[in-house]
Amino acid sequence: MSPSPRAVGLAVVLALALLVAPWPLVVLVAIALTGVVGADAMAARRPVTVTRTVPGRLARGVAAPLSVTVEGLGARRARVRQPLRPDVQVEPAEADDGLEARVVAHRRGRHELPPVAVRVVGPLGLGRWDHQGAGPAAIDVDPDLPAARRLATAVRQGRFRDPGRRRRGAIGLGTDFDRLRDYQPDDDVRHVNWVATARRGRPLTNQYREDTERDVVALVDLGRLMAAPVRSWDATVPDRTRLDVAVDAAAALAAVADAVGDRCGTVAFDDEVRARVTPHRASGAAVVRALHALEPRPVDSDPELAFRVIGTTKRALVVVLTDLVDAAAAAALLDAVPVLVRRHAVVVASCADVDLIVDAAPPDPVDATTPIDGDPDTGTPGTGPPGTGTGAFDAGFTEAARRGAVAARVLDARDRAAAELTRRGARVVEAPPDRLAAAVVAAYLDAKAAARL
């Protein structure tokens, strides 16, 4: 229970009335006002029915409707407020007598919306009572599925990369025997079945059934390096973790595999396997369910463990979604890749760091009209390049130069790690957060077009 601003205003007027009116009269009016405020607050205390409607499943970064209705108010008024949680935005967060808002989750996983708070004001507008309704609501936030579906639609319609949609058989003699048939002049002589030819007395050739369904496996690193935040070139897009970007890429890969008829699976790992989906048809939804709520842990990842889970039964495209810091941090991956490439086509995908790219860029040239030296008589600091004065320009330029040098060393270390992975047989894909999913899909379609699966 609490008095409304109207009741507080009346109390202030009564206090000022003591200056001009007899105090017994003012006291009587104050007692009456207190009783009226209490009665109004008791009227506001009567229960109301609060109903909140919000989807139980959202896509990260995609707005969804949220509505709150309050029934049983009668002559009373209510102020409805939806308390906020980190990584979940509600706009607007409060309104009168009900709420029609848009909810946007900026991070995938499981989130819980707190109960709705409703402040009811009595019929006279003097007393208020706070009600709590529509208890906590659990919502599951998937990765950026609309972007994944757009990529899959572009591939299906031939607008992304057409060669990847052409199904090609394996290089060589094929995979599965289908039947014997008579030899044709344009048949490959290597397909001739000499035993059947000698038995039948006419040339016969083997016909093979091409295996058009390829296996694609997304290996998602959940180690400590994947907890680092990354920002987009677009300043309006909230920061994400490297794992968020990797899960978006895995969802896009699964959606495109469904579109072209391939089998997709996933393995999520750190120092142990935390989720696994074996490759099968139409597996996009299963991959998203397995990955959407996983979070990184402060441990070093063991890619060799994940590689052993994949096995060597059938050739597949293995996309390792990880972070390439330097050769030392990627030592376990460098040691494990040569074993995997003997059987599978391997792509190592990493998210480029926009901050490092910006810091490593050369500084803008100094304007020739800018004063170089300060005034020695007045003590005014210089504004020229380093070494020409003692002003803020020197400090700023030096700080930018230091950041640029550190960023250049980090990028150089990443390049060396990528070059070593390439030398050991893997293809390395690196792109900014907004483009990593498309880059991974392009590498997958290139592998299909080149018949490397």
pLDDT (tens digit per residue) in 128-156? 888 887 678 888 888 888 889 888 888 88
Whole-number Å distance between alpha carbons of 2 and 8: 10
Residue 218 sits in a domain whose CATH number is 3.40.50.410
Residue with more model confidence, 406 or 252: 252
Looking at the structure, do residues 110 and 153 belong to the same domain, yes or no? no
Residue with more model confidence, 376 or 122: 122
Report yes or no on 154 lying in a domain.
yes
Looking at the structure, do residues 124 and 260 belong to the same domain, yes or no? no
Q: For residue 320, what pLDDT is reported? A: 94
Amino acid at 441: V
Tally of helices (H runs) and strands (E runs) in the chain = 11, 22
Q: For residue 5, what pLDDT is reported? A: 80
Q: How confident is the model at residue 269 (pLDDT cuts 50, 70, 90)?
A: very high
Whole-number Å distance between alpha carbons of 309 and 320: 13
* Phi/psi at 24 (5° precision): -60, -40
Looking at the structure, do residues 369 and 436 belong to the same domain, yes or no? yes
Q: For residue 238, what pLDDT is reported? A: 63
Whole-number Å distance between alpha carbons of 240 and 259: 27
Q: Which H or E element spans position 300?
A: none
Using DSSP, state whether 7 is helix, strand or coil: helix
pLDDT of residue 234 exceeding 80, the answer is no
Q: For residue 164, what pLDDT is reported? A: 40
Please say whether the beta carbons of 249 and 349 come within 8 A. yes
Report yes or no on 222 lying in a domain.
yes
Q: Print the domain residue range for 185.
A: 176-209
| Token duo for residue 144 | 């950026």
Query: How large is the average pLDDT for residues 391-408?
Result: 68
Looking at the structure, do residues 123 and 196 belong to the same domain, yes or no? no
Looking at the structure, do residues 79 and 196 belong to the same domain, yes or no? no
Q: What is the mean pLDDT of the chain?
A: 81
Residue 82 sits in a domain whose CATH number is 2.60.40.10
Report yes or no on 171 lying in a domain.
no
Whole-number Å distance between alpha carbons of 143 and 249: 9
Q: Which residue's entry shows tokens 């016969």?
A: 204
Q: How many domains does the chain have?
A: 3
Report yes or no on 391 lying in a domain.
yes
Q: What percent of the chain has pLDDT over 90?
A: 19
Report yes or no on 344 lying in a domain.
yes
Report yes or no on 229 lying in a domain.
yes
Q: How confident is the model at residue 214 (pLDDT cuts 50, 70, 90)?
A: confident
Whole-number Å distance between alpha carbons of 206 and 190: 9
Please say whether the beta carbons of 440 and 319 come within 8 A. yes
Report yes or no on 383 lying in a domain.
yes
b/e map 376-391, b = 16+ CB within 10 Å: eeeeeebbbeeebbeb
pLDDT (tens digit per residue) in 24-48? 888 888 888 888 888 888 888 888 8
Whole-number Å distance between alpha carbons of 201 and 15: 121
Looking at the structure, do residues 285 and 421 belong to the same domain, yes or no? yes
Looking at the structure, do residues 181 and 95 belong to the same domain, yes or no? no
Q: For residue 170, what pLDDT is reported? A: 43
Looking at the structure, do residues 406 and 258 belong to the same domain, yes or no? yes
Looking at the structure, do residues 403 and 371 belong to the same domain, yes or no? yes
Looking at the structure, do residues 222 and 133 belong to the same domain, yes or no? no
Looking at the structure, do residues 116 and 3 belong to the same domain, yes or no? yes
Which among 155, 151, 150 has a CA at the least distance from the CA of 261?
155
Looking at the structure, do residues 187 and 227 belong to the same domain, yes or no? no
Report yes or no on 114 lying in a domain.
yes
**Strand 57-59 with 137-142, pairing:** parallel
